[in-house]
Structure 1
Amino acid sequence: MLRFPSRILFGCLLVGLLFTSSAIDAATVDAAEKTGAHNIPPKGFKTLFNGKNLDGWIGMNFHKVKGKSPVAVQMLSPKERKALLKKNWEDVKKHWSVEKGELVNDGHGVYLTTARNYGDFELLLDYKTVAKADSGIYLRGVPQVQIWDTTKEGGKWKRKANLGSGGLHNNEKKGKHPLVYADKPFGEWNHFRITMIGENVTVYYNGKLVVDNVRMENYFDRKRPIFPTGPIQFQTHGGEIRFRNVFIREIPRKLPLSGILKNGKPVGDGWVAFLQDAENAQGGEIEKEFWTLKEGVLTGEYQGGKKHHYAYTTKEYGDFEIHAQIKMTGKDANSGFHFRVDPKTASFGKISGYEVDMGAVPWGWLQHVGGDGNIQKCSKSLVKKAIKQNDWNHFYIVAKGDYIQTWINGVKVIDVENPRGPKKGVFALQLCGGKRETKLEMKEVYIRPIKTEK
């Protein structure tokens, strides 16, 4: 609590969406075959491979890094990660190329990986391969939608290759093998449409349903769910494979029930009215010169200067969800909502911890102040959709373990897992220094701790 001492201190809709997308998907494939105009995305999709070069891609083999997982790569320092990416890119250039609008791998080398991570999405792609080749499509960095030689001569019938490609091969339970055989002969193009929502995956292969809304297991740690976000990867495994028409449509993650306000209050039990209790119990620290707390509204005003100024709590929180109404006004105003701040660094000048940034450029960015800096940026188009300038904005933040999610006015702006980030700490609000004028107001703050699962 804030203490103020002398310094004041989804059902039918989903089916409809999939049916509509399937029709668009089929029409796009047919049109491309007839006109020869490939690598042009259908409406609502974005191009992952532009048909010209490898822009937007990196090289990454998570299983070859010490620790053998995406988490191990995330735990690398920025310097170590940069060196790894540089090394991997040299390998990419040896084994991956672009020929006549086709993305070509010689069967060897590092896996081609999107530079961006994705959460829920629909992925379209064409591929063709050769005899005895083996490959796969990794979703959120996890193996895999299987691609292989399904003939007896391919030598993998003991591993059920005769059942066909398209299954979630690394699942130990449901979905390991495709529902039907749908592979085309060598030399012909095969088409995938893969939908991933939450932990579940649906795969259409050459127009046939081969995986039906199956939970994808986390190959790297089967005791935990699959990663909430991660890259798309193309596996290399012994034979030439070609890709084209690689498109993606991101599916927005909707606000959960606990993120909804009803009559100005969150739904469910266990919520604490934060500022109201802080005002009554006197718990936290602010500077009287810059901050006031009156009738449940915390207000900060700053005409600019060399230092930042903060209001922060004394109580620490680990996993939590929090609602807050925040309004920022002023010339070139800039601020930030901080959480999991190291109490040892909490002062009226500089602190270390997470920050959801607010300002002309970094609205909605997640930063690890005093750590690795920018963790996830928010696009200008998303900011325009989410933010009400000079007005009240509803922030809903969920921090559970390494997974950080933030919605502003119901629009998700942060969705990232960051193992290098802080695990617990205090909350803080910032008045940013510099040549600017900032007035920041916060009210209707409700917080609910999340119990750690054992």
Structure 2
Amino acid sequence: MKNLIVPLAAIYCTANAFAAEAPSARPLFNGKDLAGWSGSGYVVEDGAIVCTPEGKNLVSAETFANYILEFDFKLPPGGNNGLGIHYPGSGDGAYSGMELQILDNSDPKYKDLKDYQFHGSLYTLAPAKKSGLKPVGEWNHQKVTVSGSGLTVELNGEIILRTNLDDLSARNPKHEGVKRRSGHIALLGHGDKVAFKNIQIAETAPAAYVEGVMAAGFTRLANGKNLDGWKHGNSPDWVVTNGIIKHNGNKDAPDLWTEKEYADCSIVFDWRWSGTGPLMQRPILLPDGTAKLDSQGKPETIEVQELDSGIYLRGSTKSQVNLWNWPVGSGEVYGYRTDASVSPEVRAGVTPKVKADRPLGEWNRTMVTIKGDRLTVSLNGRVVIDNAQLPGVPAKGFLGLQHHGGAIDFANLWVKEL
């Protein structure tokens, strides 16, 4: 089974699975109030968000990874603000995340600017082309495209910055924000009356080499446009946008199940947490699947955001490959690990060998292979479950996308029957 994982990891990596159609966008600002944003020092005037003298950070409630963000902005003389991307929600947006400058370069007080301080520049990291701004008081249109490590900024139809975040991270190892690949969007104010309107975002799926996956014998589990082929009870809590199956976090929503049953198969898919969860204590596990005990003989725990989902195999809730934020990492088969009736070898086998999850909000790429009663799981290029036995697993059944109320995205779902 290991041989099925390595070739796929090598080919499933370059082109966007649903790039043929222009991505559809939705408003990130409703033009009426600051619903969906948090912070202080901003008001809504004439359909625009306006920074007041008290304005500092205004932060989106949602987090994003790959997207196209478009907005209009207007600068007063000497106006200074910033667009925070991949912002974790706290700290200085220019360093805990990254800040794209929004600045009136023409004002005399900025005559000694460094290259990376001009409008559109990635502050301290990458200078933008010094052109494209309209005269002070006029509306400008800006488009920011984030795709994995790629970042492009377009101002009034002209590309003023194109850079690679991985390269910038390697050259700036002390900058924590440039290492991040997801987070909130933020307006980073300095008390100047800068205005923003028509804020739209189109989320996009991570890149995938469709031709290579198909050549390896995989077929699509999801068409990227709707939920055809899935049983979903007409739930409004599952939607498809730009190739992404999105669950909004409603705990009462149904799980998704394929209309077709599968026996031996390999499944590949991308997933990310698109929201946050409550803080809860979760156990630290030993390699044999038992809880680590403290000096008093009690299970050791750590506090984590409780985020929980998974992939059901062969119609069985017991044979669920967990996707979660627990200390043990994703890939665990909780239903078998906690079953006292199975052997210690089985419980150890379904315990991840390593935690390979990426930071919350970032996309993870997973491959699950079940053949007979044996399971192998690869997460972000690392084998976390290796030929584990699932005694009594059904021979055939439906595949399911499960949730426990956490907002989660799925994309690039493919299956190969073995």
- Normalising by the residue count of structure 2, what TM-score does the alignment of the two structures yield? 0.48
Q: Larger radius of gyration, structure 1 or 2? A: 1
Higher helix proportion (structure 1 or 2): 1
Query: Relative to total residues, which structure has the larger strand share, 1 or 2?
Result: 2
